[in-house]
Amino acid sequence: MPESSGQSGDLKPAAEIDKLIHEPARLLIMAYLYVVESADFVFLVRQTGLTWGNLSAHLSKLEAAGYVDIEKEFVDKKPHTMLHLTEEGRGAFQVYRQSMKQVLDDLPD
Amino acid sequence: MYNIDLKEIERRAFRSTFQDGIWDIYLGLLLLLFGIALSLLEFGIVIEWIGVIVITLCLLCMGFFIAGKKYITVPRIGRVTFSAARRSKTKNMTLLLTISFIIGVVLLAIRLVGNEDLFGWIAPVPFPALLFSAVCLVTFSSGAFLLDNIRFHLYGLFYAFPFPIVVILKSHTDMIGLWLLAYGIPSVLMLIVGVVLFYRFLRDYPPLTKEVLHDSVH
């Protein structure tokens, strides 16, 4: 079965793509959180164009996966939520980028 | 979608914090303040009073800037902490602006007390005027680079040129109001740019309503 094993070898990078990050809205959220140290909900709503509820739902999934850390803090005595990527999230995003690059580079012209 | 330019995303996010026009209005007001201070001297106001007026107006401008950022910009575009590299750039910019502001104030004070000979003269423009222009150009060009804001190049010219131009004109004419005219025109242009940007910002980024903040439909 050399043909099939060769095929599975070629498709390995594609199979390793992190499906959680691959979703466009979550990819956008991860990209914004990757380039900054931390940001709040309002900033992400403005930058990504997602609705509040949509953003909240995606962030819950990313938080459950351990990619995003949600921190409650007080600004001017008012509760405020800041978000940042965890080390695991940063690592996962880097791996995702490398995997995607490899998959796209390996595509025939 | 998958060809993500992270540098561009970061730059766009950073630039979004400067699209409120508050920097433009603030710098325009400070420039106008220079013109007002020099004009008051021309109109024979006592230097101590000019000092009080300039410091008061300067504090008002700073108050406008801080309050504008805190109560208008941040609630509308959100709170963000940029990367250490970006923060370092911003710190350098703040340091540069502070140093150049101090130089500007010192040169203005020298002009106000009429002790221009302190630096000697390079005909036909006095050395303080040339130094002031050079500092403005270097500061604002650095600002344009550090803050990714191309308008700062133009503002550098606006800050740099009135001083030497008026000094040259003053050696040929006794016309009253030259300082106000020379500083007033560029500062009004900056204020117009700032007000237009500010209007656009308020229009494009309305405050998030409670309904939006608690939207959980999607």
pLDDT-derived band at B66, boundaries 50, 70, 90? very high
Task: Tell me how many domains chain B contains.
Answer: 1
Residues 6+ apart with CB under 8 A from B204: none
pLDDT-derived band at B105, boundaries 50, 70, 90? confident
CA B99 to chain centre: 14
> Across the interface, do B205 and A46 touch by the CB < 8 Å criterion?
yes
Q: Is residue A32 part of a domain?
A: yes
The CATH number linked to A22 is 1.10.10.10
pLDDT-derived band at B2, boundaries 50, 70, 90? low
> What integer best gives the mean pLDDT of chain B?
81
The two tokens of residue B60 are 């008002």
Report, as an integer, the average pLDDT of A3-26. Answer: 70
What backbone phi and psi angles, to 5 degrees, belong to B176? -85, 145
> Across the interface, do A31 and B9 touch by the CB < 8 Å criterion?
yes
Whether the CB of A61 is below 8 Å from some CB of chain B: the reply is no
pLDDT beyond 50 at A62: yes
Instruction: With H, G, I as helix, E, B as strand and everything else as coil, classify residue B32.
Output: helix
* A 84-103 residues with CB < 8 A to B: 97, 100
Q: Find the helix packing angle between A52-64 and A24-35, rounded to 10°.
A: 80
What is the pTM (predicted TM-score) of this model?
Answer: 0.77
Least confident of A58-62, B34-38, B131-135: B131-135
Q: Is residue B18 part of a domain?
A: no
Contacts of B217 in chain A (CB under 8 A): 51, 53
Name the residue of chain B whose CA is nearest to A40's CA: B79
Task: Give the length of chain A.
Answer: 109
Dihedral sign, Cα of residue A80, residue B81, residue B65, residue B189: negative
Q: Is residue A55 part of a domain?
A: yes
Name the residue of chain B whose CA is nearest to A81's CA: B79
Gap between the Cα atoms of A27 and A46, Å rounded: 16
Q: Is residue A4 part of a domain?
A: no
Least confident of A73-77, B7-11, B15-19: A73-77
The two tokens of residue B167 are 């000094």
pLDDT-derived band at A68, boundaries 50, 70, 90? very high
Higher pLDDT, B109 or B188: B188
Q: Is residue A43 part of a domain?
A: yes
Give the per-residue pLDDT at B49: 85
The two tokens of residue B194 are 């700032």
Q: Is residue B6 part of a domain?
A: no
How does pLDDT run across B132-156, given as a tens digit for each residue? 788 888 888 888 887 778 898 999 9
Name the residue of chain B whose CA is nearest to A24's CA: B1
Residues 6+ apart with CB under 8 A from B30: B58, B61
Higher pLDDT, B78 or B107: B78
Which residues span the domain enclosing A23?
17-101
Whether the CB of A23 is below 8 Å from some CB of chain B: the reply is no
Q: Is residue B5 part of a domain?
A: no
pLDDT beyond 80 at B74: yes
The two tokens of residue B86 are 């970006």
ipTM of the complex as predicted: 0.77
- Give me the total of CB pairs closer than 8 Å, taking one residue from chain A and one from chain B: 83
For an interface test with B, the pick among A35, A38, A47, A76 (most B C-beta atoms closer than 10 Å) comes out as A35
Q: Is residue A64 part of a domain?
A: yes
Q: Is residue B1 part of a domain?
A: no
Of A37, A39, A104, the CB nearest to B78: A39
Which residue is listed with tokens 């703040």? Answer: B94
Q: Is residue B16 part of a domain?
A: no
CA distance to partner chain B, nearest, from residue A2 (Å): 32
Give the per-residue pLDDT at B140: 86
Give the per-residue pLDDT at B188: 96
Task: Tell me how many domains chain A contains.
Answer: 1
Report, as an integer, the average pLDDT of B6-13. Answer: 86
Of B3, B76, B81, the CB nearest to A38: B81
Which residue is listed with tokens 């060809």? Answer: B3
CA distances (Å), origin B17, targets A19, B147, B152: 32, 10, 15
Give the per-residue pLDDT at B67: 94
Query: Which one, of B66, B76, B38, lies nearest residue B177 by Cα?
Result: B38
Which residues span the domain enclosing B100?
23-74+82-217
Name the residue of chain B whose CA is nearest to A100's CA: B2
Give the per-residue pLDDT at B116: 53
CA distance to partner chain A, nearest, from residue B8 (Å): 10
Q: Is residue A40 part of a domain?
A: yes
Q: Is residue B4 part of a domain?
A: no
The two tokens of residue A48 are 């990504």
Would you say B52 and B60 are in contact if contact means Cβ atoms under 8 Å apart? no
Q: Is residue A33 part of a domain?
A: yes
Residues 6+ apart with CB under 8 A from B131: B103, B107, B119
Whether the CB of A46 is below 8 Å from some CB of chain B: the reply is yes
Q: Is residue B3 part of a domain?
A: no
For an interface test with B, the pick among A36, A70, A74, A84 (most B C-beta atoms closer than 10 Å) comes out as A36
Gap between the Cα atoms of B132 and B57, Å rounded: 21
Render B165-183 in DSSP notation, one character per residue. Answer: HHHHHHTT---TTHHHHHH
pLDDT beyond 70 at A19: yes
